[in-house]
Amino acid sequence: MAIERPFKNEKFSAEKSTSVDVVPRSNIYLANRLSLNVIDFYQVYVQCYVPYILTAIVVLLSTKLASDVSASEVNWDSAVAYVSQLNYKFAVDGLALVMLVAFLGSYLSSRKSPVYCVEFETFTPPESWKVTRDEIMQVMRSSNSFTEESQDFLQRIMDTSATGNATHWPPGILKALKGQKQEETMTSSRREFMTVMAGCIDQLIERTKIDIKNVDFLVVNCSLFSPTPSLCAMISNHYGMKSSLQSFNLGGMGCSAGLISVDLAKQLLENNPGKTAIVFSTETISEQLYHGNERSMLLQNTLFRVGGSAALLSSKWKDGLTAKYKLLHTVRTQHSNDLAYNAVYQCEDKTGEQGIRLSKDIVSVAGKAMTTNLTSLGPYVLPVTEQVKVLYSMLMSFGRKRGWVRPSENGAEKHYVPNFKAGVQHFCIHAGGRAVIEGIQKNLQLSDYDTEPSRETLHNFGNTSSSSIWYEMRWLEDHDRIKRGDRTLQLAFGSGFKCNSAVWLRLR
């Protein structure tokens, strides 16, 4: 069954404007640096390189033992003499052999199973869910909730948001276009969730031919809709999954929750070889429109759209022969301070209307979280030459602060920004908004070509929250960009404040 993709025929056209955007045009920055302090350097690099050092030790000891055995002349007389003379050399060699066996056993037992992405699917909404920017504004005006000033503000944001005229909203909200009352109920949210879920998982089953009743783990993330029974229970009941299924329902984790789910599934599969997991990411918006007039809470009405993704992950060795991707690394970052915690905050306004408030500090908060995350990721993906440059920049900065190194002539301290394109071929940056994408592009020194998947996804689907990085991965596949051996970086951030990343290796 062919799956219709809107990406193939629709070309993104950026709309030039300098008026209101999702976040200030100062761009999300990486705290002007991607360098390390001493503690970060120790933790990151020790964690990264210790396994390779241990591997080298095992190989050297094994080679030494093999050479000793091959060099010795073994016959009956020498064996009897050797056994009868339990000398010091025998004791030393025996102890070394026991230590080698113990060390080798410990090393092998600590190795974790590789995790593969067999296949993934994204939700393609029905035509009846399609909505234009003008229709969105029509829905806003029909609610009689917004002042003229708020409506003008929403229109300016809409005009500069870089979202297209063919994104999607759930039918409960679109009833307003027919002069009916919006259906913002738990029933409509359940209906939206089930439609998106079935659209993803049914296609995943069809494409992989998997028996979903044999899936071992189910991880679902949806930030704002958390009913009882849980969303995991809804999926399990819908497909009649096995009673021993281990399910995990993640709520309130923001737009970066998709990679949190991937990391959780990764840990489960690494420690349970021969198992499979389904990761489903979505955000229901049937009940999530804000009907107040505070500007910091109006932004959610203009960007978020319907979307979802489902991925089949496996730690079975046979799946590694047919899987699309291998998961190389995941890095999770969460900053714990008041600024980070309040950057994205669900609350009521002064009139009691509920919505999501975006803080004026979100730019700096996101930049610092991204700095920490990419600093931790760097040793795993960057070539040695780039890591040496980062280390040199860090040491020079450390020296300048203590007066050991002469400051630069203009007094401005310039930190080296590593070239991530030296270790990663493709980038899937969360489509949170035009300014978000532009800020990351500028600070990671990426080209328009590198960020095209994110821009196209924002244009065709809007901000689909945690699933946006999978729409971008699909765009890369539809345009034949990912070749065997390529590495793709998924980067997402959200409330908490969190920044998470994952690196995938294309296998076929």
For residue 183, is pLDDT > 90?
yes
Beta strands in 72-204 (DSSP E): 116-122, 130-131, 167-168
- In terms of pLDDT, which residue wins out, 370 or 412? 370
CA angle 333, 339, 344 (to 5 degrees): 75
306 exposure class (CB count in 10 Å sphere: 0-12, 13-18, 19+): buried
- Which range, of 98-112, 114-128, 289-303, averages the lowest pLDDT? 98-112
Q: What is the pLDDT of residue 391?
A: 80
Choose one of 94, 110, 126: the last residue of a domain.
Answer: 110
CA-to-CA separations, 276 to 218, 248, 329, 467, in angstroms, rounded: 9, 14, 18, 20
Q: Does one domain contain both 307 and 392?
A: no
Q: What is the pLDDT of residue 231?
A: 98
For residue 65, is pLDDT > 90?
no
3-state helix/strand/coil string of 142-171: HCCCCCHHHHHHHHHHHHCCCCCCCEECCH
Average pLDDT over residues 429-453: 92
Taking the C-alpha atoms of residue 306 and residue 373, their distance in angstroms, rounded to an integer, is 28
CB 470 within 8 A of CB 308: no
Choose one of 84, 110, 136: the last residue of a domain.
Answer: 110
Q: Does one domain contain both 199 and 248?
A: yes
- In terms of pLDDT, which residue wins out, 28 or 285? 285
Q: Does one domain contain both 106 and 141?
A: no
Instruction: Determine the structural domain holding residue 175 and report its residue range.
Output: 116-328
Indicate whether 208 belongs to any domain.
yes
Buried-state track 13-40, b at ≥16 Cβ within 10 A, e below 16: eeeeeeebbbbeeebbbbbebbbbeeee
Place of tokens 């008041």: 338
DSSP, collapsed to helix, strand or coil, labels residue 47 as helix
Query: Taking Cα atoms as reference points, which of 2, 139, 36 lies closest to residue 415?
Result: 36
Indicate whether 33 belongs to any domain.
no
Q: Does one domain contain both 157 and 295?
A: yes
Indicate whether 5 belongs to any domain.
no
Phi, psi (degrees; rounded to nearest 5) at 141: -70, -35
Nearest-10 crossing angle of helices 231-239, 186-208: 50
For residue 238, is pLDDT > 70?
yes
Q: What's the maximum distance between 2 C-alpha atoms anywhere in the chain?
A: 103
Amino acid at 357: R
Confidence of residue 6 (pLDDT cuts 50, 70, 90): very low
Average pLDDT over residues 347-356: 95
For residue 390, is pLDDT > 80?
no
Q: What is the pLDDT of residue 55?
A: 65
Average pLDDT over residues 341-346: 95
For residue 385, is pLDDT > 90?
no
Q: What is the pLDDT of residue 10?
A: 44
Taking the C-alpha atoms of residue 224 and residue 24, their distance in angstroms, rounded to an integer, is 25
Average pLDDT over residues 317-335: 95
Q: Does one domain contain both 268 and 395?
A: no
DSSP, collapsed to helix, strand or coil, labels residue 412 as coil
Choose one of 110, 137, 152: the last residue of a domain.
Answer: 110
Taking the C-alpha atoms of residue 131 and residue 94, their distance in angstroms, rounded to an integer, is 76
Q: What is the pLDDT of residue 375?
A: 85
Mean pLDDT of the chain: 84
Place of tokens 């051996």: 485
For residue 56, is pLDDT > 70?
no
- Which range, of 105-114, 149-158, 200-209, 297-306, averages the lowest pLDDT? 105-114
Which CATH number fits the domain that encloses residue 234?
Answer: 3.40.47.10
For residue 117, is pLDDT > 60?
yes
Chain-centre distance for alpha carbon 116: 15
Q: Does one domain contain both 295 and 388?
A: no
- Which range, of 178-187, 190-199, 361-370, averages the lowest pLDDT? 361-370
Alpha-carbon torsion 287, 290, 292, 296, what sign? Answer: positive
Indicate whether 353 belongs to any domain.
no
Q: What is the pLDDT of residue 98?
A: 62
Indicate whether 228 belongs to any domain.
yes
Give the number of C-alpha atoms closer than 13 A to the C-alpha of residue 67, restricted to the C-beta side. Answer: 6
Two tokens, residue 2: 């062919």
Average pLDDT over residues 15-29: 39
Q: Does one domain contain both 270 and 159?
A: yes
Average pLDDT over residues 460-467: 96
Number of folded domains that form the chain: 3
Taking the C-alpha atoms of residue 387 and residue 185, their distance in angstroms, rounded to an integer, is 52
Q: What is the pLDDT of residue 367?
A: 87
Q: Does one domain contain both 130 and 101?
A: no
Query: Taking Cα atoms as reference points, which of 315, 308, 310 lies closest to residue 270?
Result: 315
Taking the C-alpha atoms of residue 317 and residue 118, their distance in angstroms, rounded to an integer, is 11
Q: Does one domain contain both 248 and 275?
A: yes
As a residue count, the chain comes to 508
Taking the C-alpha atoms of residue 40 and residue 107, their distance in angstroms, rounded to an integer, is 26
For residue 148, is pLDDT > 80?
yes
Taking the C-alpha atoms of residue 443 and residue 365, their distance in angstroms, rounded to an integer, is 15
- In terms of pLDDT, which residue wins out, 94 or 457? 457
Average pLDDT over residues 378-400: 82
Which CATH number fits the domain that encloses residue 400?
Answer: 3.40.47
180 exposure class (CB count in 10 Å sphere: 0-12, 13-18, 19+): exposed
For residue 95, is pLDDT > 90?
no
Q: What is the pLDDT of residue 188?
A: 97
Confidence of residue 9 (pLDDT cuts 50, 70, 90): very low
Indicate whether 4 belongs to any domain.
no
Peptide bond into 229 cis (omega under 30): yes
Sheet containing 487-494, strands listed edge to edge, beginning at the edge strand earlier in sequence: 246-250, 217-221, 276-282, 308-314, 116-122, 325-334, 498-506, 487-494, 426-429
Q: What is the pLDDT of residue 64?
A: 56
Q: Does one domain contain both 158 and 276?
A: yes
- Which range, of 191-195, 397-401, 485-489, averages the lowest pLDDT? 397-401
CB 494 within 8 A of CB 253: yes
Buried-state track 375-401, b at ≥16 Cβ within 10 A, e below 16: bbbbbbbbeeebbebbeebbbbbbeee
> What's the pTM?
0.81
For residue 53, is pLDDT > 50?
yes
Q: Does one domain contain both 382 and 241?
A: no
Indicate whether 32 belongs to any domain.
no
Beta-carbon contacts of 341 under 8 Å, excluding residues fewer than 6 positions away, are 496, 497
Taking the C-alpha atoms of residue 291 and residue 150, their distance in angstroms, rounded to an integer, is 10
Indicate whether 13 belongs to any domain.
no
For residue 492, is pLDDT > 70?
yes
Q: Does one domain contain both 286 and 398?
A: no
Q: What is the pLDDT of residue 402?
A: 75
